Amino acid sequence: MSAIRKLRLVVLISGRGSNLQTLLDQSASGELSAEVVAVISNQPGVYGLERARQAGVPALELDHKRFADRPGFEAALIELIDRYQPDLVILAGFMRLLTAGFTDHYQGRLLNIHPSLLPKFRGLHTHERAIAAGETEHGATIHFVTAELDGGPLIVQARVPVLPGDDPEVLAARVLAQEHRLYPQAIRWFAEGRLRLDGEQVWFNGAPLRQPQRLEDVV
C-alpha cells in the first residue's frame, strides 16, 4: 500500500456547500489527509463560497451564463481548475452536466456524490422518487465521473431506511448525514493509494471492485 499523501482538492459547487464544509473541517483538523486549495461555483453568490472564504480558501465564481455554449464554459473551467494543480476534483452539489471533453481531462481524478443508491434514481428529485416508488432503502453514492449523467463507475454507497411517514425533506436529511461520512472516506482511500480507476474499472485494495463498497461494512 502506498504511503498516505496529502491531496490537493479543488471543489466545484453550485449551492450551500454542506459536503464542502465537511471537507474543510476534516482538512483543518487533520482527520483528512487533504487540503482544499480552491472552491469554484458556477452560481454567483452562493453560501458555499462564503464557507470557503471563512476557511481562508480561494472562493471563485465562474458563471456559466456568461458563456455562449457548454464547451466554452468548460474550457474556462479547466483553465481555472488547473491553476491549482489538484490531485482530485470534487463535485459537491455541482449542478452542471459535463461533456466528455471535461471528464476525460480529469479521468480517474474526478469524483461526484449522488443522493441515491445508483444506478437507481439518476438525475434530480431522488428523494421524492424513492418515496413514490415505495422503496424501503435509499442512500447516497460516490462515483468516478464520466460524461454519462450519474453513470460513472461506482465506488462506495451508504444506505438508510425509508421509514413510514417520511417526506422528501426528512429523507434528504437522513441521507445527507451519510453523505458527510462518504466523501471523506472515498478521498481517504484515494490518498492511501487504495482506490484508483483504470479505464472503466475501479480498483480497490489492488483488486477489481465488482460491487460498490458499503460504508456500513467499512471498519
Residue spans of the domains in the chain: they are 7-217
Q: What's the alpha-carbon Rg for the chain, to the nearest Å?
A: 17
- Give the pLDDT of the chain (219 residues) as one tens digit per residue: 445 779 999 999 999 999 999 999 999 999 999 999 999 999 999 999 999 999 999 999 999 999 999 999 999 999 999 999 999 999 999 999 999 999 999 999 999 999 999 999 999 999 999 999 999 999 999 999 999 999 999 999 999 999 999 999 999 999 999 999 999 999 999 999 999 999 999 999 999 999 999 998 885
Whole-number pLDDT of residue 12:
98
Whole-number pLDDT of residue 219:
54
Cβ–Cβ under 8 Å, residues 110 and 137: no
Whole-number pLDDT of residue 1:
45
The bridge status of strand 137-144 relative to strand 154-161 is antiparallel
Cβ–Cβ under 8 Å, residues 118 and 150: yes
Name residue, grid cell 417520511. Answer: 166
Whole-number pLDDT of residue 3:
58
Q: How many CB atoms lie within 10 A of CB 58?
A: 15
C-alpha torsion sign, points 74, 75, 77, 83 = positive
Decide which of 1.10.260.40, 3.40.50.1000, 3.90.1150.10, 3.40.50.170 is the CATH code for 7-217: 3.40.50.170
Whole-number pLDDT of residue 89:
98
pTM above 0.75, yes or no: yes
List the helix and strand counts (H, then E) for the chain: 6, 11
Name residue, grid cell 456568461. Answer: 66
Give backbone dihedrals phi and psi of 164, rounded to 5 degrees, phi first: -55, 135
Q: Which amino acid is at 212?
A: P
Please tell me which residue in 64, 105, 114, 180 is annotated as part of the active site.
114
Cβ neighbors of 26 (< 8 A, separation 6 or more) are 32, 34, 184
d(CA 142, CA 186) in angstroms, rounded, equals: 7
Question: Is 180 labeled as catalytic in the residue annotation?
Answer: no
